[in-house]
């Protein structure tokens, strides 16, 4: 492995939960306001994962006050305190961009049954 990848590896987290597009996540984000620090929880459906070593990220979409909100998180960011997988969705593609055009009941994702 070359040194550039090694430096990236050092900043990667270990023990992250397994999740894919379609899963419902609860992301705990550390936010620094002035000199105070608090944890904000952001819950929604993961619609996209980008796998690029230390540059990996994932996008979480939720409906907030009737507006669709998408937030992109760097997977290995130290600001992410915790990622909880609430449910595993049954979807047939890797990027769920079609959810942007759907509303209400149509935008639901079927849950995968885990034995």
Partner 1 sequence: MIKAIIGKKLGMTQVFSEDGKRIPVTVVEAGPCTVLQKKQEQTDGYNALQIGFGARKAHRTNKPEMGHCKAAGKGSFSFLREVQADNIDDYNVGDEITCDALFNAGDKIDVCGTSKGKGFQGVIKRWGFSGGRNTHGSKFHRAPGAIGASAWPAKVFKGKKMAGQMGNERKTIQNLEVVEVRPDQNILLIKGAIPGSRDSLVMIQKAVKAGK
| Dist. CA 98–CA 72, nearest whole Å | 17
Instruction: Tell me which of 41, 69, 79, 86 binds partner 1, using CB under 8 A.
Output: 79
Helix (H) or strand (E) holding 3: helix 3-10
Q: Is 4 an interacting residue with respect to partner 1 (CB under 8 A)?
A: yes
Please work out, in degrees rounded to the nearest 5, the angle formed at the alpha carbon of residue 101 by the alpha carbons of 82 and 106: 80
Site membership for partner 1, residue 55 (CB under 8 A): yes
82 lies in the binding site for partner 1 (CB under 8 A):
no
Q: What are the residues binding partner 1 (CB under 8 A)? A: 2-5, 7-8, 11, 30, 32, 53-55, 74, 76-80
């Amino acid at each position: 492995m070359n040194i550039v990848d090694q430096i990236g590896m050092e900043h990667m987290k270990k023990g992250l939960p397994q999740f894919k597009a379609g899963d419902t996540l609860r992301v705990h984000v550390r936010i620094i306001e002035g000199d105070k620090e608090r944890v904000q929880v952001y819950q929604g459906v993961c619609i996209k994962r980008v796998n690029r070593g230390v540059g990996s990220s994932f996008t979480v979409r939720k409906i907030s006050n009737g507006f669709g909100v998408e937030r992109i998180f760097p997977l290995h960011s130290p600001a992410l305190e915790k990622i909880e997988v609430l449910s595993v969705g049954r979807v047939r593609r890797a990027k769920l961009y079609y959810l942007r055009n759907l509303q209400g009941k149509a935008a639901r994702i079927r849950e995968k049954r885990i034995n």
